[in-house]
Structure 1
């Protein structure tokens, strides 16, 4: 993490050197000086350009070394070829941090990436921290310290507030700031991390946790580059009561290219990143506008967010003065799992006694039926009711022309801390939006962003568990220490975790199995064949020894034709098992966020109709039960419409045990999978096993003890 000295120099510098500053005021490199003058920066600003000279009454220094005063923050705007020497001079000057606007590094390809690596190695040797390259800079709205070339800072007034933004996209930093300014949102700090070669998103978030001006942190992300550092910072933010809201672009192809199993294909990197956000309490939005609009709700009601294991609080009381406008937002809320809940009869009677007649309908429509005072009274009564979890006021045309009718009651009503209140304004009513925002009320301009923000707010965050609380796992001696395991070996690994595996025998060559209760299944054993069914390597329901022998002979030919390069290592003879349903249980060391565990509908169609729950691994038994509740397919064994009912405790135990793959020292497993995992009435049993060691981890790490 950043030292206090570097953090202060990055976010709140008192002196800035603009290196490569242009004397031509029309150029980008002349902007930072102009911006800081415009927005009232009281610190010292020095212009540096190899040509020297002066601009008006400002001295232009040939080098940062020529500046007679100490420098907190250097903003580098020179051509890429000059950056190494500039950083060397900054280090000699004792500058704690340099932001590099210059491009021509990792973003242009391999040659630029190598230049960037060499640059950062040099900076680290010299003790200099670097933001960027390709960073559009930073801004402190409270001091006017705009160390940036972004044209958004041409605005006449830089709104101050308590929201800080960290963006991996420089251009989107400007777009978000301009959108925020148009709505009256004020910012504390904004940081463009650029290529994130040294100072990471996580380090900036960690510094913002300690920033007294910041109460809400927004993240605009394209990927995750240092999940461990970011996770630690996010946990600090949650502990400090500073909500973090994230919008992430796209899906990484990197992790999917590494995936061999159904698990990787189903979840992908974006699913793993979603699990990462949930594990660290981040509210993830999918609508860009919601990134901003959720901030007041998150700030005002952070303590009201549900906890994992609690009831999923998604009952919304909707009060409106526009039936059509309410319908648009209720429709979107329904798509996100919310219920617009009708007031119970006793509440209807209660309000009638207070002089307001309402009906028990999902939307309480007061169009032309209530005064401003009655609207306010109804809001206050709803905010005290125990049959809803939040209140949404949907305001019609009065928001545009008569805000005193329905907007003023939102401002004036008593607001208990544990019951969130939000507003959706059906017309385009910028003035009313700004008024609500100015009073700390979350107000939404579109039904889509309203539903998206509420869904992110009410999504229950996970509580990560530590491997330190898990029992040690001893691995059998016969397991190879690198590459893929064959199914028999993977079964040994899973048994060591405590997984219930089907009874089986590994025959190194075709022959007679002993002590087998027919019927049986037989599968080819080969570490080169991940999906045996596709290769013709599975036979089931074999009634006797003769059928088993014939199956092994035919399978040998089928597999040789389908996979001629595969090494055959015998056959696995397995007791036939049945279950009420088939599930997939998967583990993957995601390249961005680390170990994850997946539970979903299984069988050969697992990828065609994904229905799964995903968490960071390991998980507790309670978290495993939450995953079970999320998989729709498992409803088939909950007695639905007379269907059989299974005891799901053994399934939760199995998920938790399997997730302990994450607790092996060095986390040596890249991917592991059981598909299918049969759920029986009072047990589960695994009839398939896949596991692959992480080659980059060197196989099984030192410290993993083999069984005696």
Structure 2
């Protein structure tokens, strides 16, 4: 066929609806590099689309063959007879860049690049990917990938993917859509889910996310009428701002998002000067990001899709942050139920025993139960009695969720356990979940077809329930986010010394211990004894490691002696350090030592942390973390989450600490996110909680 000149019109490509239509519902597709050998990966998209009934037009592009698998092939994109919506490129990476001009000339709006050898392969690949993106932007093209295994629209049979999972004879279309940063895991998850009767609407492998990001696709899925639940398989976070707005839209649209994230970046720990970086690494920051956006995070692969019916059926169900979830457990296998209850306890979700009033109520209905967190009806109740107890539990106010655990009858006699679950009158506002202890695929499928959340393992059941019950509505940007000006006279780059860090805290409204900075020969200023003596050096962020702290200074003479000894010791240990003086600080004490930290996370942006403080801060791992800035309500939630704060909140009659002042300090410290200087990380350790306030006695601040 003679070559035709096609002038693309890309004026509408940037519109989300137009982008998603070209990405997931194209009418005309070009398969660039489609193989005539059915045994090769690059032949798969054409085979898959034939198999699954794609009704659009597919143009194989292959320079060496006039036909591909019985279809007419075209030497180049410029030889196509009509404009296309989407080009799927499957040629070696070095040949991709020159093809972009042909894609634009052929009218493509979106180009999916299966080819690898780009940013994932090293510095040279990064350069090649940058050049690819720059050219695509010039041409008005949108890129999925590179290094993307492709995408699928199960409802239309548009399978632009080489993943072998789509070789299945029949694909079950459903209402779950998935975005994955791993192409192989996209297929693995779909195959696992399909074996359980879960159907998918859309599935997208984003590859390197050079252009089209996970967040953009989530935006599109929010608007997709065939998608009710969105699954994310993530290795990291990219373009967090775009993902943030997409997740907020998903919540507002009533489309739950369930995420599995693997991998822990070393960026935070490698650059960190503070304990905060070690305590709240990138994974903890990502956890805070998910929490702030209403995402259900799971840690097991099966829970990623098994949690979907739970999240969809009870999409509007949330608990106040101050409430520890209470689960009522009904079972025909005590041991099987105990496996879930044990796992739930590790996630701070408690199985609760029925109160006496409920036990009496059920006795009046002819069923005797014990005051145990596991209501075991093994050999003690008929199917009708099991259903009656279940319905009564679902209407009780002493539990938040009901968990039914089936024993061997689920495998051989589903009418005893599964049928009562399906037939029971289930109110829409009381979540019900099911775990079947035996391998009972038929029963699991029955429950799935009934729209019920049913789990195959105790681990995935506990994982999904903990994630679901921990979900909260997205937090709105805090009022504390009003911008503020950096104090005059303080450095705007690098590490502040402790004297400068204290000035910054005072500027934010956080009380610090009274102190004065002296050079090594100056006459001591009186700050009150006993006092603390510290070396002041921006080269020594952790003073104790350089023997740079002396406590219990009794008087002037003691201070002079200790100053000489301290300086001699520090210079012996750190001869390279610039010593800017010694800090004489009033000794403070409190009811509790905490750490209050801040860091600008590489993935999610500013976060604030509150945790158990002192030299054991990194070891205790008792902390709460949020995206910064926070408001006072979020600050109080953080205080409640830190186990150590119980001792200043009325634990066993111990003295009360000033938690109001603590909450204000958390809010004020989180305002580091809103200053006109970028703070990489900052920390108060310890922050003493006192009966009538809080006081910072040691501070570290590093600026970008």
Q: With structure 1 as the length reference, what TM-score do the two structures score? A: 0.95
Q: Is the 8 A contact 2:215 2:244 kept in 1?
A: yes
Instruction: Count residues in correspondence.
Output: 691
Q: Is the 8 A contact 2:38 2:69 kept in 1?
A: no
Most deviating of 385-394 and 409-418:
409-418
Distance 1:463 1:37, change over 3 A: closer
Quote the Cα distance in structure 2 between the aligned partners of 1:224 and 1:43: 34
> How do 1:127-526 residues align onto structure 2 when only pairs under 5 Å count?
127-308=140-321, 310-312=322-324, 314-461=325-472, 463-466=474-477, 470-526=481-537
Alignment map for 1:4-23 (pairs within 5 Å): 4-23=17-36
Give me the CA root mean square deviation.
1.4
Mapped to 2, the partners of 1:307 and 1:164 lie a distance apart of 29
Matches for 1:623-638 after TM superposition, within 5 Å: 623-638=634-649
Partner of 2:101: 88
Which residue matches 1:677? 687
Per-residue CA deviation, residues 280-314 of structure 1 (Å, 9 max, x unaligned), is 11111011110011000000001112243x523x1
Q: Which residue of 1 aligns with 2:666?
A: 655
* 1:485-538 deviation per Cα after TM superposition (whole angstroms, max 9, x unaligned): 111111111111111111111224432233432221121111111001111111
Cα deviation, 1:129-169, whole Å, max 9, x if unaligned, reads: 00111100000011111110000001111011100010000
SS in 1 for 2:644: helix
Note if contact 1:343-1:361 (Cα within 8 Å) is conserved in structure 2: yes
Task: Please report how far the alpha carbon of residue 357 of structure 1 lies from its aligned counterpart in structure 2 after TM superposition.
Answer: 2.3
Distance in 2 of aligned mates of 1:2 and 1:119? 22
SS at match of 1:139: strand
Structure 1 position 467, deviation (Å): 5.3
**1:535 and 1:563 in contact (8 A); partners too:** yes
Pick closer, same or farther for the CA change 1:585–1:114 going to 2, 3 Å: same
- Provide the rounded CA distance (Å) in 2 between the counterparts of 1:476 and 1:151: 60
Give the alignment partner of residue 624 of structure 2, picking from 597, 610, 613: 613
Question: What 5-or-longer segments of structure 2 have no aligned partner?
Answer: 1-13
Q: Which region of structure 1 is more displaced relative to structure 2, 284-293 or 325-334?
A: 325-334
The residue matched to 1:691 in structure 2 has which SS?
A: strand
The match for 2:550 is: 539
- Measure the CA separation in 2 of the matches of 1:43 and 1:196: 27
1:566 paired residue among 563, 577, 600: 577
Question: What SS class does the counterpart of residue 419 from structure 1 fall into?
Answer: coil
- The residue number in structure 2 matching 1:688 is 698
Shift of 1:202: 0.8
Structure 1 47/596 Cα, relative in aligned 2: closer, same or farther at 3 Å?
A: same
Counterpart among 678, 687, 695 of residue 668 in structure 1: 678
Query: 2:118: which partner in 1?
Result: 105
Quote the offset at 1:651 in angstroms.
0.8
SS at match of 2:42: helix
Shift of 1:451: 0.4
Distance 1:535 1:469 in 2: 37
Conservation of the 8 A alpha-carbon contact between 2:520 and 2:563: no
Change (3 A) 1:471 1:100: closer
- After superposition, what is the alpha-carbon deviation per residue over 1:33-52, rounded to whole angstroms, capped at 9, x for unaligned? 11001011111111001224
- The aligned counterpart of 2:47 is 34
Unaligned 5+ segments in structure 1 are 695-708
**Does the Cα contact within 8 Å between 2:359 and 2:369 map onto a contact in 1?**
yes
Inter-partner Cα distance in structure 2 for 1:648 and 1:134 = 51
Q: Output one character per residue of 1:234-293: Cα deviation in whole Å (capped at 9) or x when no partner.
A: 111111111000111121112221111100011111111111110111111011110011
Contact residue 119 and residue 129 of structure 2 kept, 8 A:
yes
Q: Is the 8 A contact 1:168 1:222 kept in 2?
A: yes
Secondary structure in 1 aligned to 2:394?
Answer: helix
Alignment partners' CA distance in 2, 1:198 and 1:280: 23
Residue aligned with 1:414, SS: coil
Structure 1 residues 316-365: Cα deviation after superposition (integer angstroms, max 9, x where no partner): 11111112211222222222222221111221222222222222221112
Q: Deviations over 1:555-613 (max 9, x none)?
A: 11111111111111112111111111211111100111110111111111211222111
Q: Distance in 2 between matches of 1:132 and 1:211?
A: 21
CA distance in 2, matches of 1:468, 1:338: 32
The residue number in structure 2 matching 1:697 is none
Structure 1 contact 169–220 (Cα < 8 Å) conserved: yes
Question: 1: distance between equivalents of 2:182 and 2:252?
Answer: 28
Contact 2:296 2:471 in 1 (8 A): no
SS at match of 1:676: strand
Residue 528 of structure 1 aligns to a residue in which SS? coil
Cα separation, 1, equivalents of 2:571 and 2:70: 83
